[in-house]
Amino acid sequence: MSGQISTTGPMLASPRCGAKTRAGGACRAPAVRGKRRCRMHGGAKGSGAPRANRNARKHGLFTGDAIAERKQVRALLGEARQLLKGMRFRP
Ligand SMILES: [Zn+2]
């Protein structure tokens, strides 16, 4: 009496794969832990893009380092503009 009823609840509550099947519906197999798809629909170990998707990188314009560098340059320019504003001649 205890076995099945106590273990089916958490199983049914687990996140499900939402991949579209050839029959047209959703897959509904349990999703791999930490992923949104089951092991057969892209959730398998080693599948998917690497962290920070290095595969999609074309030029590095939007890497964290590049963004931080631009932010620093903008801050420096802002400071320089403020300084120049303060030096402006007023009769
Ligand atoms: Zn699936």
The CA-based angle 5-14-32, given to 5 degrees, is 130
Note the residue count of the chain: 91
Cα-to-centroid distance, 43 and ligand 1 (Å)? 8
pLDDT tens figures, 39-61: 999 999 988 888 777 788 889 89
Cα-to-centroid distance, 51 and ligand 1 (Å)? 22
Is the distance from CB of 35 to CB of 45 less than 8 angstroms? no
Instruction: Tell me how far apart the alpha carbons of residues 17 and 44 are, in angstroms, rounded to a whole number.
Output: 12
Is the pTM for the entire model greater than 0.95?
A: no
Cα-to-centroid distance, 90 and ligand 1 (Å)? 72
Of 29, 56, 34, 54, whose CA–CA distance to 45 is shortest?
A: 34
Say if residue 2's pLDDT is above 60. no
pLDDT for 49 = 82
pLDDT for 91 = 61
Helix (H, G, I), strand (E, B) or coil at 44: coil
Say if residue 5's pLDDT is above 60. yes
Please provide the average confidence, as pLDDT, over all residues in the chain: 87
